[in-house]
Structure 1
Amino acid sequence: MIAEFITKYYIDPIRYGQPYNVVDTLTYAIILIIAVYLIYRWLNSTGISVDRKFVLATVPFIVLGGLLRVVEDTGFITSDIRFLLITPLIYFVLFFFTVAALLLSRTLERAGIIASYHTGYAGIGTLACTISAAFLVWWGLTYSQVAVSVLLIIMGLAIVISAGVWGFMRYVLKWEYVSDPLYCVLIFGQLLDASATSYGIDLHSMAYNEAHVVGGALIAWTGTAFSMFPLKLVILFPAIYILQQYRKEAAPVFWHLVLLAMIIVGFAPGVRDMVRMILFT
């Protein structure tokens, strides 16, 4: 009975690319919360400063996660290794790769080879992104397409709406703190996800669907994927306000990790969906 439960709610969604269900969604949310806490404890013990520079240097690894998901989508990897590039297993793969890059960069800094571990850390992530993107461009040109127009539409939509939301927060609500680059990345990442989802489901030639439980229910109820924008805004406005209030009292390491987790859950799927639509008709 337990084996059947695990197969139905955890293994089959990964194996067959099924949408998330309530059970695995709640499970992964709990794992994320526990992971943030454990990473917080570990980073505290290592003496690595988790600050604005650290979070921004981690962004390339978030982008890398989205790109690697598309690498699996191409079908180029035919062995069972491909399951390591499917959610949620890819999060563990990226985690260990990111930690390895961080420790290597820290070691190089202590050896005097590089001036700051942030530079090496971000550099490794950027290099991995470049290699992954180059492969995807090659694959698209060789076997499918590289639809630059899709890139421009989704990115343009995300940039314009992000700028509007940021401007409203900054100049209407007078939230001066949203000028912090971390909040800018958070806003853009979440709205990139909404832009890719909206375009993919309502406008793209492929039959896309929303894999997440809440988003899928909202789209079914409203009849349009553009309802993802108000959903994101309902989350973003109170989230940023609460984050800023909590920032005054929270441990800096934990606060930055919570913000980083919020950036990941928007940015990574947004990149994946956008790049997938660029390559597939």
Structure 2
Amino acid sequence: MVSLEEIVTYFTDPTAVGYTPEKTLIYALLLVVAASFIFEILKKLKIKVDYKLAISVIPYVILGSILRVLQDAKTFNSYWLITPGIYVFVFGIAFTVLLFSILVERKFGIRYFKTLFVLGLFAIAFMLPLLHFVNLKGFFLVSLFYLPWLIILYKIKWNAANKFVTAAQMFDATSTYVALQYFGYYEQHVVPSLFINIFSPASFIFLKIAGIVGILLILDKFSKEEEFNIYLKLLIGILGLGTGTRDFLRLLALV
């Protein structure tokens, strides 16, 4: 009989490589629970979910990606810098800074999102130099394949939230494609790896754009509460930006 300790170890062991369907399902369920909890916290703090909040948390998404790559590079070695621990760790940092930013706003009148954003930039400036970028070819290839998506999103008539989410997710798709196709990396996540193994790395791009556009259209049609709609899109954008930035930085550092 499998013990509770063995189950916990299976899902949290830092030495484990890759994802399994079981881990993917559990992580997805935990994400749903955490997302609901965080939304309620934001409401209690009277923080409106809008573009100001979205922009102010972007540095922490990038910070999380930097920390994850430093873990991959063996600069650090901690459970809290791999999935799922890194999500808890980075959220803890961002939430702590958010509370501090709210206090600053109440005492000095400086809007919370400004403090939150600037302190996030300082954290990036402190951690980014620990990475050593050597792959100029990877940078140009990602830029080359990603630029058309930015042009398309600029030209089409769509709301800003949908454009942000799509841009973030396609950055992930492009970085993954370049890493797999040109530099011998491999995909760890269950669903993308299934398509990539059957078809090719390019299939991930088509899978991603079809999936993300479909999800956004469904949200716009059935999600009637505007703030919750934006919140869900922010989460989807964060997931894409986080994994995309990690893949991009790994590629540049050849980690």
The alignment's TM-score, normalised by the length of structure 2, stands at 0.92
Amino acid at match of 1:117: Y
Residue 161 of structure 1 corresponds to 149
2:163 corresponds to which residue? 184
Alignment check: 8 A CA contact 2:153 2:163 kept: no
Structure 1 gap ranges (5+): 171-175
| CA-based RMSD | 1.8
**Which position in structure 2 is the counterpart of 1:147?**
135
Residue number in structure 2 paired with 1:211 = 188
Structure 2 counterpart of 1:37: 36
Q: Which of the residues 124, 128, 133 maps onto 1:129? A: 124
Which residue of 2 is the match for residue 275 of structure 1? 249
Q: Secondary structure at the match of 2:49?
A: coil
Rate the CA distance shift 1:102–1:246 in 2: closer, same or farther, 3 A. farther
How far did residue 111 of structure 1 move? 0.7
Counterpart CA distance in 2 for 1:152 and 1:101 is 35
Alignment-mate amino acid for residue 183 of structure 1: N
Q: Deviations over 1:78-114 (max 9, x none)?
A: 5xxx221111100000111010111111111111152
One of 216, 219, 234 as aligned partner of 2:210: 234
Moved more, 69-78 or 263-272: 69-78
How far 1:166 moved relative to its partner? 5.7
Which residue of structure 2 lines up, in the alignment, with residue 90 of structure 1? Answer: 86
Kindly state the Cα deviation for residue 7 of structure 1 after the two structures are TM-superposed. 3.1
Tell me if structure 1 keeps the 8 A contact 2:135–2:252. yes
Contact 2:169 2:240 in 1 (8 A): yes
Q: CA deviation at 1:196?
A: 1.3
Contact 1:72 1:86 in 2 (8 A): yes
Identity %: 25
Corresponding residue for 1:202? Answer: 181
| SS class of match (2:177) | helix
Contact 1:151–1:275 (Cα < 8 Å) also in 2? no
- Name the CA distance, whole Å, in 2 between partners of 1:270 and 1:96: 21
Q: Does the 8 Å contact 1:162/1:187 carry over to 2?
A: no
Distance 1:11 1:100, change over 3 A: closer
Equivalence for 1:110: 106
Kept after mapping to 1: 8 A contact 2:146/2:170: yes
Q: Distance in 2 between matches of 1:40 and 1:251?
A: 13
Aligned to 1:119: 114
Change beyond 3 A, Cα 1:50–1:241:
same
Q: SS in structure 1 opposite 2:186?
A: coil
Contact 1:148 1:278 in 2 (8 A): yes
Contact 2:153–2:167 at 8 Å: present in 1 too?
A: no
Select between 92-101 and 151-160 the one with higher mean Cα deviation: 151-160
Which residue identity lines up with residue 240 of structure 1 in the other structure? L
Q: Matched residue of 1:217: which SS?
A: helix
Cα distance, 1:200 vs structure 2: 0.9
1:260 aligns with 2:234: yes
CA drift of 1:184 comes to 2.4
8 Å contact kept, 2:166–2:213: no
Tell me, which stretches of 5 or more residues in structure 2 are unaligned?
A: none
Alpha carbons 1:159, 1:188 under 8 Å: kept: no
Q: Distance in 2 between matches of 1:226 and 1:70?
A: 24
Q: Distance in 2 between matches of 1:86 and 1:127?
A: 22
How far off its partner does 1:165 sit?
5.3
Per-residue CA deviations over 1:220-263 (Å, capped at 9, x if unaligned) read 110x111111101111211222232345x2151x2222112101
Q: Note the alpha carbon deviations across 1:18-38, whole angstroms, 9 max, x for none.
A: 111111101111111111111
